[in-house]
Structure 1
Amino acid sequence: MTGGEGPDVLASVGANVRRLRAASGLSQSELATAAGLSRRTIVNLEAGSANVSLSSLDTIADALGATFVDLVLAPAATPERIDALLWRGNSDDSRAVLLGSAAAHHEGQLWVWSLGADDRYDANPDPAGWHEMVLVIAGRLRIESENGDVTLELGDHAVYSSAQQYAYVNAGSGVTRFVRVVLS
C-alpha cells in the first residue's frame, strides 16, 4: 500500500493481519520469516503504521493461508463492495481503488461491452460458483436478476453471482459502456 492511503485502511489491514496471524498460531517473527519481511515490518503493520507494497501484502496473505482481500477488507465492507483506496502515486490523479472481489476457481475473463439506446442482453445462468464484476464507464446500466435489479451510474460497480437468470439493460438515452469480468 504505497503512498497515502487512509489511516482506516492501515488500521483494518493491521487488525486483519494480527487476527489471521493469531488464528494460524504464528508469532510475528515466524510470519516475517515466512513472508520474507522483517519482524519490524510486521510489528508496524499490525500497529497500523506500516506502509507496505501491495506485493508484500500478497506475500503476507500467502504466508497466512489467506487472500489479499482477507487482509484489506474493512469490518463494515463486503467482498462485493470493498471500495478501498490502496495506492496513491505522486500525482493526485494516480490511485488504485479495489472495488470488489469474488472467488474464482478456474478462469477470469475481461470484457468491454457497449449497449445502444433501448438495447439489452439476456443471459442464461452460468454454472454454480460463477461470478461477474461490472464497472460502468459510460452511461447507465441496469442489471436485472433473480436476486433483484440494480441500476449502475457512471463509475459504479456490481459484483454478483451469474449462476442465475440475468440481463444487461441500457438504462440511459445514449450508449452505455461497461467493463465485465467473468470468474469461473
Structure 2
Amino acid sequence: MDTRQIIGWNLRRLRVAKGISQERLALEASIDRAYVGRVERGEENVTVATLDALASVLSAKVAELFVEPAKNAKPTPPLRAGRKPKLEG
C-alpha cells in the first residue's frame, strides 16, 4: 500500500467511525466532496493543510492518517445510505 492509499484508508476509517458522510466532512473542512472521495480512494496527493483540515473535523491527529493498516485488515464498510432520521424535540 502506498502512502496515498494509507491516508485514504485511515481517512475513511476515521470518518465512518465518527458517522460523518463525505459530504459533511468536505463541508466542515471547506473542501470539495468529490476531492474527499478521491483522497479516500488514494487518487490524490494531499497537502499538509488539507490533511490538517480533515483531521481537525474528525477530532484526530494528522499522524493517525499515516498509520499503516494491519496486513489482514478488512476495508471499512460504508455508512448506511440515506439521511439520518430527525430527532423529535
Task: State the TM-score bracket (shorter-chain normalisation).
Answer: 0.7 to 0.9
Alpha-carbon separation, structure 1, partners of 2:68 and 2:36: 19
- Residue identity over aligned pairs, in percent, reads 39
Q: Which residue is 2:38 aligned to?
A: 44
Larger proportion of strand: 1
Q: 1:73 aligns with which of 67, 77, 80?
A: 67
Q: Which residue is 2:79 aligned to?
A: none
Q: How does 1:82-101 map to 2 (within 5 A)?
A: none
Q: Which residue is 1:64 aligned to?
A: 58
How big is the alpha-carbon RMSD for the aligned residues of Structure 1 and Structure 2? 1.2
Unaligned 5+ segments in structure 2 are 71-89
Alpha-carbon separation, structure 1, partners of 2:67 and 2:31: 22
Larger proportion of helix: 2
Alpha-carbon separation, structure 1, partners of 2:46 and 2:55: 13
Divergent runs of 4+, >4 A: none
Q: 1:19 aligns with which of 13, 20, 26?
A: 13
Q: Which residue is 1:79 aligned to?
A: none
Structure number with bigger Rg: 1
Q: Higher RCO, 1 or 2 (CA under 8 Å, sep at least 6)? A: 2
1:75, distance to aligned residue in structure 2 (A): 2.4
Unaligned 5+ segments in structure 1 are 1-6, 77-184
Alignment of 1:30 onto 2:24: yes
Q: Which amino acid aligns with 1:43?
A: G
Alpha-carbon separation, structure 2, partners of 1:58 and 1:74: 18
SS of 2:31's equivalent in the other structure is coil
1:52, distance to aligned residue in structure 2 (A): 1.6
Alpha-carbon separation, structure 1, partners of 2:51 and 2:27: 14
